[in-house]
Every structure is written in C-alpha cells, then in structure tokens.
Amino acid sequence: MNIDLLGSTKTMSDQIYTVSQLNSKVRGHLEQEFSNILVEGEISSWKVYPSNHAYLVLKDSNSKINAVMFAGRRKSLDFIPEVGMRVLVKCSVTLFEREGRFQLSVFSLEPLGEGILDVKFRQLREKLELEGLFSKERKKVLPIRPGRIILVTSREGAALRDMLPILSMRIPFVELTIIHTLVQGEYAPRSIERAIQVAEENNRINSPADLIILSRGGGSNEDLSAFNDEIVIRAIANCSIPILTAIGHEVDSSLSDLVSDDFSSTPTAAAEKVCSNWDVFLERFMRFPSEMERYVKMFLKNRKDEVAFYERIKILEEPALFIQELQQKVDMLFESLSKETKYVLSGFTNRAFSILPRLRVVSPLSLHSSKVKTIEEYFEKIKISIEKIFFVKNLEVENLILRLESVSPISILARGYSLTYRAKDNSLIRSIRQVENQELLQIKLSDGELDCRVEKTNQKGETQ
C-alpha cells in the first residue's frame, strides 16, 4: 500500500531542497538581512588557531552565539581580547554551511566600559613589566651636573617654551641641542623613535651628551597615547644616554615615565631638576673667595697666637737656644704659609678657569656675556685680595720678629748688662745672698765671659 506523506494538497510548484541547498539559501538570507550590524555581549571564549583565525563565543544573561574573526581582520586589532571583557562587535550574520551552524563574522570589535586606550595601556604595561623593562636595576643614573643636554620635543610645543627660559637663565653655560619630533598623532611614535636614534648618532659623532629630556605639554589621553606606544617604550629602554621624561601635567602618567631613567611631572619640573644641582655648585663657587679669605685669616691668627705664646714663656735660662729655635719656626712658618697660599690660589684658579670656556659660550640670553665679565672681574679681585692679605700678614710676622729681638737677652746684654752664674752648678745668681766669699762665679757679657772670685759682698744700702 502506498501512503502519500505530503498529503493531497501537494502541487508541482512545491520545491524540495537538499540539505546543502537549504543551508546555502538560509546563509544568503541571513547575510543579506544582517550584513552590517552591531552586537553587544561578553566574551566567554577566545581562541586563536595556527591559521591566525580567532574563534570566540559571545553571551549575555540568556543566550550565546558563536563568532569568527578571520586573520586579515584580526590584524587591525590594537589590543588583545580577553575572556570576561564586554565588547561591541561590528559583524554580519552568516551560516557555516558544512555544519549548519549559525554564527557571526566579525569585522571589528572594541571594549565597552574600559576604553580601548585603557585596555592597550594595561595590557602593554603587564607585558613590559614581565620583561623587566620597568625594573630599577636597568635604569641609568642621571648625571649630577650635565654639561650637554639634548631636548627631544616639538619645536612648536609648550614644553620647549616652558623649559628654554629656565635652562638659559640659570645654566647658560650648558650646551643645549633641540631635536624636533612629532608628539601626537598617528606618526608620532615613529617620529619619537627616530629622534632618539638621531640623538644617539649625534652622541657618537659630536661631543657626548650627558642627558636627554623627552617632553611634551599636557593633553587628553589620546594626545598622550604616543608615549604609551610600544615603539617609543623600547626606544627609550634601548637608548645608551640617560633619559629624563616630562610628559603632560602632574596628573598624567605614561609608560614612557615608567621605563625612563627618571621622570618629572611637567617639563618645567624637569628643567628645575636639571638646574638644582648646578645651583648648589654655583652658590659654593661664588662663596669660595670669602671662605678662602677666612681660612687665610684663621691660619695667620693661629700662627700669631703661637708667636705670642713664645713671647710669654721664660726664656732667660737658655736665651740663645730659644731664639734660634724661634727663628727656625718662623722660617718654617713662612715656607708653610707660602706653600699653602699658593696651593689654595692655584686650585681655585684652575677650577675657575676650567669653567670659563663654558661661561664664554653664547647664551640665548644677552645676560650671559655680562655674567662672564663679572665673574672674570671677581677672579681678578680675589687674586689681588689674596696677594694683599699675604703682603700685610708678611709685614706683621716681620714686626713680631723685631719685637722678639728687642726683648731678647742678647740685646739686653749688648746694652751693658750681664748675667752672673755660679761656676760649680751653672745656676743663675739673682741675689748676693746666693754667693759666699771666695766663691767662683762666671759673668756673661755680650761679647764673652769672665771667670771671677768673690772677694767681698756689699748688701744694698751698706757702705764699703
């Protein structure tokens, strides 16, 4: 018995589809009806195959759907999708005919909630942190007083206008080189990388630079995004010259700041940091003449006190020996004072004239030349002052010697006085009570000695 499963209503116009035909027709309808749509969902699965095609699953609280992003489209992604990330997908709806599986063909996707720049920032930071690019061990020490600085920034930017007046006014003798670069936009990362490379090339050809300041003014996250680019980060990390970054304002933070050898919150703060150690040096330099003058005065005072001490001690026992010893010490004093004064003056002069060539470099400000002239005048005044002090103190020491000679026992003897000693023990006789009749005495005069015997003693007030 034959049974008509399609019923008696079947007509010749009814079409019978094969499975392949049906899948193909459904695919065509889906791709025509849903050719360019936006779908929001959470990534519950993400897997990249050797072909570089990515397969993912999107879901919401009630449903899920498979999706594919082919390798050519995945290249345009500038972040890595993660499981659990909410995304907005631009896609078409299609059917994988062989399996009869409904899926999305993804053209592009972007994160929701967390912005794409924030996602890129976080993912790149985690990646570079694992590589150790932010570790303190790999950072170079910034020079205390850099003599040549390279500014890598935009020549039209606010950062250069902020830094130049500070650097030119406070350290006009430091050589500044400006290398222009783009600091925002699509081509900025490559431009910054090339500027750092040019700085290193100049460092090999010309006089070596001590420091690079990489800077730009404030702006939005998009404006500062070039300084969070992996190209720029690696250029900073690979640079052989120490780099100080100054990106944006105080509230801004960039990956360039994390990888650089040091960073400042603003370009102005970077210029201040560079000048600070020079300020201390220049302050000590300007204070040096008065400190040296105070040292010389203290040195001479100490020597004067020593001479005064010797004036007060008892010198009658061995006057000739004492005078000889004192004269020898005075000679040594002259020699020591001369050597030390010449040493201090020579050291100061060498330090001063080693800085003069830099001071003579033409500064962006006209004030530079007048400062150099003023410092040279200071040097001349200091030299004259030291010579004058040395001359005056020399006269003082000579006067002290004359005073010592005036109170010398030898000078007293030359005026007709004499010294009397007991012959048996060579003790000085100060009173007639110390001697007896017939006792032998020795009398010292300025030009010799007399050996005498006491015949008679007369007390003061007695008549002979």
pLDDT of res. 252: 66
pLDDT of res. 357: 67
pLDDT of res. 185: 87
Longest dimension (CA), the chain: 194
Place of tokens 């700041």: 257
94 and 145 share one domain: no
Classify residue 143: in a domain, yes or no. Answer: yes
238 and 296 share one domain: no
Say whether pLDDT at 94 is over 90. Answer: no
SS (H, E, C) 68-92: EECHHHHCCCCCCCCCCCEEEEEEE
Report field, pTM of the whole predicted structure over 0.85: no
Q: What is the mean pLDDT of residues 242-251?
A: 85
Classify residue 272: in a domain, yes or no. Answer: no
Among candidate residues 265, 295, 327, the one where a domain is terminated: 265
% the chain with pLDDT above 90:
15
User: How far is it, in rounded angstroms, from Cα 56 to Cα 48?
Assistant: 9
Classify residue 459: in a domain, yes or no. Answer: no
Classify residue 31: in a domain, yes or no. Answer: yes
pLDDT of res. 413: 67
Total count of domains within the chain: 4
Q: Which residues contact 277 (CB under 8 A, 6 or more apart)?
A: 144, 145
106 and 150 share one domain: no
Read off the tokens for 68: 């594919």
210 and 322 share one domain: no
pLDDT of res. 442: 86
Determine the structural domain holding residue 234 and report its residue range.
120-265
Q: What is the mean pLDDT of residues 445-464?
A: 76
Say whether pLDDT at 1 is over 50. Answer: no
223 and 301 share one domain: no
Q: Could you tell me the CA-to-CA distances from 137 to 60, 230, 238, 239, 406 in Å, in that order?
A: 46, 20, 14, 15, 73
434 and 300 share one domain: no
pLDDT of res. 102: 86
Among candidate residues 265, 286, 317, the one where a domain is terminated: 265
Among candidate residues 231, 265, 299, the one where a domain is terminated: 265
Q: Which of 6-10, 93-97, 104-108, 169-173 has the lowest mean pLDDT?
A: 6-10
433 and 399 share one domain: no
- Give the CATH number of the domain where residue 256 resides: 3.40.50
Of 152, 158, 225, 156, the C-alpha closest to 193 is 152
Mean pLDDT score of the chain:
80
pLDDT of res. 154: 92
396-452 residue pLDDT tens: 888 877 777 776 666 776 677 788 888 888 888 888 888 888 888 888 887 888 889
Classify residue 203: in a domain, yes or no. Answer: yes
225 and 325 share one domain: no
212 and 86 share one domain: no
Of 175, 157, 306, 267, the C-alpha closest to 223 is 157
pLDDT of res. 222: 78
Of 278, 8, 288, the C-alpha closest to 147 is 278
Q: Which residues contact 59 (CB under 8 A, 6 or more apart)?
A: 41, 42, 44, 65
Say whether pLDDT at 242 is over 90. Answer: yes
pLDDT of res. 306: 72
157-175 residue pLDDT tens: 889 999 999 888 888 888 8
Of 126, 95, 91, the C-alpha closest to 23 is 95
38 and 134 share one domain: no
254-272 residue pLDDT tens: 888 999 999 988 999 998 8
266-321 residue pLDDT tens: 999 998 888 887 766 666 666 666 777 777 778 877 877 777 666 666 555 556 66
124-166 residue pLDDT tens: 888 888 888 888 888 998 888 888 999 999 998 889 999 999 8
352-406 residue pLDDT tens: 677 766 665 544 554 556 666 777 777 788 888 888 888 888 888 888 777 777 7
Classify residue 6: in a domain, yes or no. Answer: no
pLDDT of res. 319: 62
294 and 164 share one domain: no
User: How far is it, in rounded angstroms, from Cα 49 to Cα 91?
Assistant: 20
pLDDT of res. 239: 92
- Give the CATH number of the domain where residue 54 resides: 2.40.50.140
Q: How crowded is residue 7: how many other Cβ atoms within 10 Å of its Cβ? A: 6
Cross-strand bridge partners of residue 41 = 87
Q: How confident is the model at residue 6 (pLDDT cuts 50, 70, 90)?
A: very low
User: How far is it, in rounded angstroms, from Cα 268 to Cα 212?
Assistant: 15
Q: How confident is the model at residue 188 (pLDDT cuts 50, 70, 90)?
A: very high
Classify residue 2: in a domain, yes or no. Answer: no
74 and 88 share one domain: yes
26-73 residue pLDDT tens: 888 887 888 888 998 888 888 999 988 999 999 888 888 999 999 888
Classify residue 305: in a domain, yes or no. Answer: yes
